[in-house]
Amino acid sequence: MTCPEELPVEEEVVPDAPAGDADDQAAGLWRYRQVVAGIPGLSVLAFDHQLRVQIAEGEALRRSGFDGAGMVGRLLDDALPAPALNRLRVPFEAALTGRTSNLCYRSPVDGRQFRLRVTPLYGRSGDVVGGVSLGQDSSADLARMAQLEHLERLGNVGGGWFDLASGWTFDPQLLRLLDVETDAEAEQVCARIQLPGHAYGWLGFLGVLTTNGSASAQGSLVDAKTGQLRQLFGTGTSTRDGDDRLLHAVITVTDVTDSIDERERAQEARAAAAQARTLLIRRVSDVLATQDRTIPELTQSITDIAATAIGDGALLRILTADGQGIETQLISHSLPAAVDRVRTFVEANSDFLGRPEFRTPTGSGDSWVHLGDPGPRRQHTGPGVRPDTPPELRHVVVAPVRHIGRVVGYLMVFRADRDRPYEPGDDDLVQVLADRIGDAVVESRVQQVLEQQRSERRAIVEQLAEMTAEQHELLEQLADVAERERSVLAEAIHDDPLQLIVAAILRMDLLQVSLPKPQADELEQLAETLQESVEHLRTLIVALTPPDLSDGVGVALRELAEALFIGTDASVTLVETAQPNIVAPRGPFIYRVLREALMNARKHSQATAIAIRVVQEDASIIAMLSDNGVGATVFDAGPGHLGVATMHARARSAGGRLLIDSAPGAGTTVTLTLPAPEGRAS
């Protein structure tokens, strides 16, 4: 039994009393709205004489996609779609003439079924000022009716009727159903039917079915022969008089035991399916939680899982970070040919995955469900199957791979089997998987960016270290070249001018003996002058000669200092606590830096005391040169005088640092700190 479309099942004139005054009317409407708004499946629509909407409320309206508040003040012509208004215009206009209509109404928008009661609305004067339509979504009731019809067809069905003259009469089917032979026995068996939880269970099965009007009840009965519990479902239509005396009744009774078992089995199957989904999500979570897998491996795993668990196959497309291109596309299916066909199709129909809606016509057995972009899910009917659609895509669910409101890709599962369409819940499952993938993909992108930044930083640090090492090597090579040149120069000075002058002095000394005193004195002065130049040349030679570090850099520096300060009043002291063999690898380096400092001291300091310290503290070698000379504030002598700058550069290039501490009148201390050679630090 169905409710025929737009056919008034009942039409009556109800002499409703007019409202007392406008306030009462407003208060009444307000209460009406409150009640209606709170009841699921109800809606209320009030309109005036011009069919202008006064009130539009209720969950049923919202569910049908209407914005109640937005409808108020608009003409129904404007507020309702034309097909809907065409069907409702007659009862609405009837209400304006004072008539109440009850009707069944199927929405042309979404196909839902409503029971509507349209009543006139009276003003203070008692005139009809408009109408009110109260609607109840009866789709669920209709579904139940359809189910009952189905059960009647499937199960054992019997009937009976009652009238005052004959009492109860049961048809043979019902007698057989109850396993009795007479009407009286049937009545007795009916009295044994249990109605647990039924509000009017105390009336008994027949009593419940014959309350005035339509009624239904389900009860259980222990089979007298087998002891099995049987489930019986009955419906009845009855008439009772003012004293509640049963005048007339017709009942139908169905044995629904098998159907209920069937339903329980279906419930079990649904529970098993739900459990399977939970397990699937668990599997995917486990895959995602695996630390040592790369993103390509993860996405491949998840696509494979989706293919085997929900699809016959699955396709995962990850978009590039800007959303414009395809970064990765994976297709998983047991048949390579199917993979190729699906790939060809989605490549030829570039908008297929991203379409907000698509569904094949009903009747073909195909179902394509495209879940919406980040907003609420939508299902729509679409233009139908494209001619190039491969058979694998008979049933399709596509879900956007989302991350915080952004679509980063698509996950599609598909099946070819006509008899295995996707079920409610599968779309949710696919969306859940897609979202998990979205999180993983975005997280991996963040990780990639971080990793890239890290490696860039590492590369810069390495490059810097390399450059420092190169600089160190260059400086040392330069120093070696300079050392060789110094050596050659020292030899040249020693071999030529020095020897010539020494020979000249010897000859002058010998000559003096044979000269008269004035000339001899003159010659002596000359010899002394030459001797002074010899000392200077010697100092130069010492400074130019490569150091002999066999007794440690401290000793070599002291000898250099002594040579440099020869002919001055300066004393040279050495404190060397570092083990020479530990310092040895750094010896030439320390020597070169402090030689520069010593030369500076000799040239500028006018010092009378020079102290050299080579000590080791923890992992550092510290070489210091102190003088008690005039000191200075500025050590940058300008272009062409690169001594101090070179000392600093050398120190840095060897991973050390150079500190020059000086003030006018307070002497100068040059401190070179170097890391001790690895593995030899104390």
Partner 1 sequence: MVSPGGPGADVYSVVVYDHHQVIRDAIRPLVDDDHRLVLVGETGGGTTCLDYVRTARPDILIMAMAARDGGPDFARAVKLTCPATQILVLSTANRRRRRLMLDAGADDWVPKSGRVQPLLDGLDRAVERIAPRRP
The answer to whether 104 and 5 are in contact (CB under 8 A) is: yes
CA dihedral 178, 182, 188, 190 (to 10 degrees): 40
Please identify, using beta-carbon distances, which residue of 548 and 569 lies nearer to partner 1: 548
Minimum gap (Å) between residue 554 Cβ and partner 1: 13
Q: Which two tokens stand for residue 161?
A: 């009727």
Minimum gap (Å) between residue 613 Cβ and partner 1: 20
Encode burial over 557-579: b for 16+ CB neighbours within 10 A, e otherwise.
bbbbbbbbbeeeebebebebebe
Please identify, using beta-carbon distances, which residue of 284 and 505 lies nearer to partner 1: 505
Minimum gap (Å) between residue 474 Cβ and partner 1: 32
CA dihedral 659, 661, 662, 666 (to 10 degrees): -150
Q: How far apart are CA 678 and CA 619, in angstroms?
A: 9
Q: How far apart are CA 286 and CA 291, in angstroms?
A: 10
Please identify, using beta-carbon distances, which residue of 505 and 621 lies nearer to partner 1: 505
The answer to whether 269 and 296 are in contact (CB under 8 A) is: no
Q: How far apart are CA 292 and CA 310, in angstroms?
A: 26
Please identify, using beta-carbon distances, which residue of 548 and 636 lies nearer to partner 1: 548
Minimum gap (Å) between residue 534 Cβ and partner 1: 6
Minimum gap (Å) between residue 527 Cβ and partner 1: 7
Please identify, using beta-carbon distances, which residue of 61 and 564 lies nearer to partner 1: 564
CA dihedral 55, 43, 119, 24 (to 10 degrees): -50
Please identify, using beta-carbon distances, which residue of 538 and 604 lies nearer to partner 1: 538
Minimum gap (Å) between residue 488 Cβ and partner 1: 15
Beta bridge partners of 214: 237
Minimum gap (Å) between residue 483 Cβ and partner 1: 18
3-state secondary structure string, 476-530? HHHHHHHHHHHHHHHHHHHHHHHHHHHHHHHHHHHHHHCCCHHHHHHHHHHHHHH
How many beta carbons lie within 10 A of that of residue 261, not counting itself?
11
Minimum gap (Å) between residue 596 Cβ and partner 1: 20
Minimum gap (Å) between residue 557 Cβ and partner 1: 13
Please identify, using beta-carbon distances, which residue of 6 and 559 lies nearer to partner 1: 559
Minimum gap (Å) between residue 505 Cβ and partner 1: 3
How many beta carbons lie within 10 A of that of residue 80, not counting itself?
23
Q: What is the DSSP string of 220-255?
A: EEE-TTT--EEEEEEEEEEEE-TT--EEEEEEEEEE
Minimum gap (Å) between residue 453 Cβ and partner 1: 57
Q: How far apart are CA 481 and CA 469, in angstroms?
A: 18
Q: Which two tokens stand for residue 154?
A: 């499937």
Minimum gap (Å) between residue 607 Cβ and partner 1: 20
Please identify, using beta-carbon distances, which residue of 186 and 541 lies nearer to partner 1: 541
Please identify, using beta-carbon distances, which residue of 258 and 562 lies nearer to partner 1: 562
Minimum gap (Å) between residue 541 Cβ and partner 1: 8
Minimum gap (Å) between residue 481 Cβ and partner 1: 24
The answer to whether 522 and 552 are in contact (CB under 8 A) is: no
Identify the residue whose tokens are 């105390």. 202
Beta strands in 52-148, from DSSP E residues, in sequence order: 53-57, 100-106, 113-122, 128-137
Please identify, using beta-carbon distances, which residue of 473 and 521 lies nearer to partner 1: 521
Q: How far apart are CA 494 and CA 95, in angstroms?
A: 133
Q: How far apart are CA 113 and CA 661, in angstroms?
A: 97
Please identify, using beta-carbon distances, which residue of 3 and 544 lies nearer to partner 1: 544
Report, in angstroms and rounded to the nearest whole number, the Rg of the chain calculated over CA atoms: 53
Burial of 501 (0-12, 13-18, 19+ CB in 10 A): middle
Please identify, using beta-carbon distances, which residue of 587 and 629 lies nearer to partner 1: 587
CA 162 to centroid of chain Cα atoms: 68
Please identify, using beta-carbon distances, which residue of 279 and 503 lies nearer to partner 1: 503
Please identify, using beta-carbon distances, which residue of 374 and 567 lies nearer to partner 1: 567
Minimum gap (Å) between residue 647 Cβ and partner 1: 25
C-alpha distances (whole Å) from 517 to each of 187, 512, 523, 531 are 173, 8, 10, 20
Phi and psi for 407 in degrees, rounded to 5? -85, 120
Query: Helix or strand or coil: residue 634?
Result: coil
**Site of interaction with partner 1 (CB under 8 A):** 494-495, 498-507, 509-510, 527, 530-531, 534, 538, 541-542, 548, 551, 555, 559, 562-563
Minimum gap (Å) between residue 546 Cβ and partner 1: 14
Provide the residue type at 583 as one letter. V
Query: Helix or strand or coil: residue 170?
Result: strand
C-alpha distances (whole Å) from 12 to each of 70, 88, 241 are 32, 17, 22
Please identify, using beta-carbon distances, which residue of 203 and 502 lies nearer to partner 1: 502
Please identify, using beta-carbon distances, which residue of 493 and 681 lies nearer to partner 1: 493
Please identify, using beta-carbon distances, which residue of 82 and 510 lies nearer to partner 1: 510
Q: How far apart are CA 302 and CA 643, in angstroms?
A: 67
Minimum gap (Å) between residue 507 Cβ and partner 1: 5
